Amino acid sequence: MSEPVLRAAARPQLRLRTPGGEHRAQVETILRDTAVFHDFEIDIAIEVFDAFLANPGQDYCALGAFTQDGSLVGYVCYGPTPCTTGTFDLYWIAVAPAAQRTGTGTRLLQEVERRLARSGARLVLIETSSLPRYEATRTFYARRGYAVTARVPDFYADGDDRLIFAKRINASDVRQTRQWKPGKTSFEEA
Amino acid sequence: MSEPVLRAAARPQLRLRTPGGEHRAQVETILRDTAVFHDFEIDIAIEVFDAFLANPGQDYCALGAFTQDGSLVGYVCYGPTPCTTGTFDLYWIAVAPAAQRTGTGTRLLQEVERRLARSGARLVLIETSSLPRYEATRTFYARRGYAVTARVPDFYADGDDRLIFAKRINASDVRQTRQWKPGKTSFEEA
């Protein structure tokens, strides 16, 4: 019966803020513990996290979900899509297994969308695989308003297609969302 | 009547080889002279060329088309698509206006495909815009066996879709091509 307790405890106490170099090891641990990512994907995720640390907000932005004691339990990495106007890629969103099913991923995603809407973004893209092991990932995005806008057959490997999820965002949508659910979110601005 | 003369002169004398740092300015000139690329795209292309120079063949490969006097008249940049097995992106192919319609682009593309096939590539992807100004580009790829495999609406900007062209390649296809047209190509290996 540990999970319901953990859910109740984790939901109200999360704080969202920008992670720093001191969280690099925790980021890597979360990526490994999800058991979703290949080693080479984790290597790339860490390279990207380092690029974010070197120039925060230039090519990459990051946002972390922290417990009251300061432990990182989830993080998201996103950034402007090169050669586009107002399009952003959400590169990774990962939540530690113990903090999954507590709304952590949803809060990270909503906060990213809120920040992007404020910065004039039009479109958020998320790419993932068509393989069965990514079904939970695809369902997560589909339930949060993302739809498959394109599919590249055999992209990752033969039989492993690239699915591109897209969601249009704009400032008024985000303001409405926040009016509908007052008090449900409390963020520390980075 | 200058163009037919130029065509006849340029076609047999091209040499394909890997460009170096001494060709950086010529690469930029070609990109600008095509009048197809935005300034920010040229900036990115030069950044990528610099990344190629720093670590040739790691994330990016480049191939140049040179006249007998050593002038660069075209170049192509390609590389392995991150997080995939055997998929490659062709990032840029650009030919100086005076050397266009002489088969330079075709030779660069065929040589890239030959090299990729030898290295075990499965799939080559090329992205371009749906806007009318890129119609010649799209026709170029379509005539060389690339088909639109996916389309991301409003990717570059509202009304400006991302088209992803794809071509399957394998070693046997390339060997056949070379058997069918013996002596038509002569390359300097880098």
A48-104: pLDDT as tens digits: 999 999 999 999 999 999 999 999 999 999 999 988 999 999 999 999 999 988 899
A87 touches chain B (CB under 8 A): yes
Tell which of A47, A91, A149, A160 to mutate to test the B interface (max B CBs under 10 Å): A149
**pLDDT mean by block of 10 residues, chain B; 190 residues:** 44 86 96 90 93 94 95 96 94 93 94 95 96 93 97 97 95 47 32
**CA-nearest residue of chain A to B147?**
A152
Nearest chain B residue to A153 by CA: give it: B149
Which pLDDT value is given to residue A2? 40
Provide the pLDDT for residue B8.
46
User: Is A166 in CB contact (< 8 Å) with chain B?
Assistant: yes
Query: Count of alpha carbons within 13 Å of A5, Cβ hemisphere only?
Result: 2
Q: Mark the ranges of chain A whose per-residue pLDDT is less than 50.
A: 1-10, 174-190
**pLDDT of res. A124:** 98
Q: Which two tokens stand for residue B156?
A: 């570059």
Residues of chain B neighbouring A158 (CB-CB closer than 8 A): 122
Map residue B99 onto helix, strand or coil. Answer: helix
DSSP A56: B
Chain B interface mutation, best of A155, A163, A168, highest count of B Cβ atoms under 10 Å:
A155
- Sequence-ordered list of residues with C-beta below 8 angstroms from that of B39, at least 6 positions apart, any chain: none
Please name the member of A41, A83, A155 whose beta carbon is closest to the beta carbon of B41.
A83
Q: CB distance B152–A166 less than 8 Å?
A: yes
Distance from CA of B47 to the nearest CA of A (A): 12
CA proximity to B28, closest of B45, B52, B6:
B45
Smallest CA–CA separation between A158 and chain B, in Å? 8
CA distance B91 to B45: 8
CB pairs under 8 A between A and B: 60
Res A82: pLDDT:
87
- Angstrom distances, CA of residue A153 to CA of A75, B83, B161: 29, 15, 18
Residue given tokens 């499965």 in the structure block: B122
Contact at 8 Å (CB) between A149 and A165? yes
Q: What is the pLDDT of residue B30?
A: 97
Strands A87-95 and A123-129, by their bridges, are parallel
Chain B contact probe: residue of A37, A162, A168, A169 with most B CBs at under 10 A:
A162
Residue of A nearest to B124 (CA): A155
* B131 phi and psi angles, rounded to 5 deg: -65, 150
pLDDT in the model for residue B179 = 34
- Among A58, A31, A50, A36, CA closest to A135: A36
Shortest Cα distance from A90 to chain B (angstroms)?
A: 14
Asked if the C-beta of B3 comes within 8 angstroms of chain A's C-beta atoms, the answer is no
User: For the complex shown, is ipTM > 0.85?
Assistant: no
Partner B contacted by A164 (CB < 8 A)? yes
Q: Tell whether B125 lies on the interface with A, counting CB pairs under 8 A.
A: yes
Could B83 and A122 be called an inter-chain contact, meaning their C-beta atoms sit closer than 8 Å? no
Whether A38 and A60 have beta carbons less than 8 Å apart is answered as no
Give the separation between CA A108 and CA B36, rounded to whole angstroms.
Answer: 39
Residues of B in contact with A156 (CB under 8 A): 83-85, 87
Nearest chain A CA: its distance from B183 CA (Å): 34
pLDDT at B6: 47
